[in-house]
């Protein structure tokens, strides 16, 4: 029997330090990340909102929107998937339990749950508000209790750093770990040493969110290893690059009446087919139907 997704995520963390976690905006991106050698992948809440719905990351997408993308990704790769569960998709313990159970059923390995208010915002934007410590502790307890895979990872994200400061954020994550959180995600960290302080305060893996154009400098893997970070997340890096490339193609076709000048920025048909295992699918079709097709042609 193949190990559970949660187990595979924990194994990946044990195998690579810090573990690089690649954001995959859709199933095809997950195939590319898999072939590139990543050991774990991520479904971003901002990515579901922008990429799948064309909407901002402002608590508009629903659990179902996220599950649709989770299933599409876990259907085509065995890489363990960390999922952005925002504030849990509902304020009652039963809402959070439903989120956890549905994510596990959909093949997810891990989720992060944050302490922002329900009407959450992007972690790197102003105007964030957080719930009380007690309310977040209840969220964690509900999530941990609902696990149907004991290895499914419940990661506590705190947005407190930008709102209440470092000491309050450290106090909070200590309580979240006491409540059962397996790992910690301090959001919008501005200095390397802050990771070190979180890691010293809690004896669980720490995630660094290295998202571009936000509040966190683009620390390297070596710098983060030195600050005792266990997981490094690149939530939207490939998505941002895809968008810039796509926009350039749209503009060029519109302005020049041809795509000739941007053809070298495109993935070729051969490359696309390689990532899709296209030829293996074609051979399967041939082995299933070609003989009968030939026979019917000869009749």
Asked if 235 is part of the footprint of ligand MIC (rule: CB under 6 A), the reply reads yes
Residue with smaller CB distance to Mg ion, 6 or 45: 45
Q: Is 111 helix (H, G, I), strand (E, B) or coil?
A: strand
Residue 248 among the catalytic residues: no
Taking the complex as a whole, the smallest distance from the CB of residue 176 to ligand MIC amounts, in Å, to 17
Smallest CA-to-CA distance from 22 within 221, 225, 214, 276 is with 221
Asked if 122 is part of the footprint of ligand MIC (rule: CB under 6 A), the reply reads yes
Residue 286 among the catalytic residues: no
Smallest CA-to-CA distance from 41 within 220, 219, 228, 239 is with 239
Residue with smaller CB distance to ligand MIC, 151 or 187: 187
Tell me whether residue 261 is annotated as binding.
Answer: no
**CA triple 33-24-102, angle to 5 deg:** 120
Among 6, 23, 45, 51, binds Mg ion (CB under 5 A): 45
> How far, CA to CA in Å, does 283 sit from each of 59, 76, 278?
44, 19, 9
Asked if residues 21 and 206 have their Cβ atoms less than 8 Å apart, the reply is: no
Residue 209 among the catalytic residues: yes
Only segment of 75-83, 95-103, 206-214, 253-261 that touches ligand MIC (CB under 6 A): 206-214
Only segment of 62-70, 122-130, 163-171, 279-287 that touches ligand MIC (CB under 6 A): 122-130
DSSP-H helix ranges across the chain:
5-15, 27-36, 45-47, 53, 63-76, 93-105, 133-146, 160-164, 166-178, 192-201, 221-226, 237-256, 269-276, 278-298
Asked if 84 is part of the footprint of ligand MIC (rule: CB under 6 A), the reply reads yes
Residue 57 among the catalytic residues: yes
Tell me whether residue 209 is annotated as binding.
Answer: yes
Residue 151 among the catalytic residues: no
Cα–Cα distance measured from residue 4 to residue 66, given in angstroms and rounded to the nearest whole number: 20
Residue 235 contact, options Mg ion, ligand MIC, none, Cβ 5-8 Å cut-off depending on partner type? ligand MIC
Smallest CA-to-CA distance from 107 within 145, 141, 69, 144 is with 69
Asked if 236 is part of the footprint of ligand MIC (rule: CB under 6 A), the reply reads yes
Smallest CA-to-CA distance from 41 within 15, 21, 66, 20 is with 21
Residue 114 among the catalytic residues: yes
Tell me whether residue 251 is annotated as binding.
Answer: no
Q: For residues 220, 23, 13 and 36, what is the CA-based torsion angle, rounded to 10 degrees?
A: -80
Residue 122 among the catalytic residues: yes
**Which listed residue (34, 69, 84, 182) is catalytic?**
84
Among 5, 46, 140, 156, binds ligand MIC (CB under 6 A): 46
Cα–Cα distance measured from residue 120 to residue 173, given in angstroms and rounded to the nearest whole number: 19
- Residues assigned a catalytic role: 42, 57, 84, 86, 112, 114, 122, 157, 187, 209
Residues of the shown chain interacting with Mg ion in the complex, contacts defined by CB under 5 A: 45, 84
* Binding site, annotated residues for Mg(2+): 84, 86
Residues of the shown chain interacting with ligand MIC in the complex, contacts defined by CB under 6 A: 44-47, 57, 84, 122-124, 187, 209, 211, 214, 235-236
């Amino acid at each position: 029997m193949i190990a559970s997704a949660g187990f595979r995520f924990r194994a990946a963390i044990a195998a690579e330090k810090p573990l690089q976690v690649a954001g995959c905006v859709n199933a095809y991106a997950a195939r590319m990340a898999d072939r590139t050698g990543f050991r774990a992948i991520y479904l971003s809440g901002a990515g579901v909102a922008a990429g799948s719905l064309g909407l901002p990351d402002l608590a508009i997408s629903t659990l179902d929107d996220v599950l649709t993308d989770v299933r599409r990704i876990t259907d085509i790769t065995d890489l363990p998937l960390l999922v952005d569960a925002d504030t849990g998709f509902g304020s009652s313990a039963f809402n959070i339990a439903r989120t956890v159970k549905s994510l596990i059923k959909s093949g997810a390995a891990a989720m992060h749950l944050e302490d922002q208010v329900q009407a959450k915002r992007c972690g790197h934007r102003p105007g964030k508000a957080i719930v009380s410590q007690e309310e977040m502790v209840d969220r964690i307890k509900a999530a941990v209790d609902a696990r149907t895979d004991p290895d499914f990872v419940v990661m506590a994200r705190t947005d407190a750093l930008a709102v209440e400061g470092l000491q309050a954020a450290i106090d909070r994550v200590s309580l979240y770990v006491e409540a059962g959180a397996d790992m910690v995600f301090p959001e919008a960290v501005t200095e390397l040493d802050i990771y070190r302080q979180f890691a010293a305060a809690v004896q669980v893996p720490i995630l660094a969110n290295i998202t571009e154009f936000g509040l966190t400098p683009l620390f390297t893997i070596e710098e983060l290893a030195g600050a005792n970070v266990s997981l490094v997340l690149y939530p939207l890096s490939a998505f941002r690059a895809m968008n810039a490339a796509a926009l350039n193609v749209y503009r060029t076709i519109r302005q020049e009446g041809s795509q000739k000048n941007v053809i070298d920025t495109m993935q070729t048909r051969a490359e696309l087919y390689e990532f899709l295992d296209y030829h293996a699918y074609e051979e399967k079709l041939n082995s299933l139907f070609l003989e009968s097709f030939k026979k019917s042609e000869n009749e």
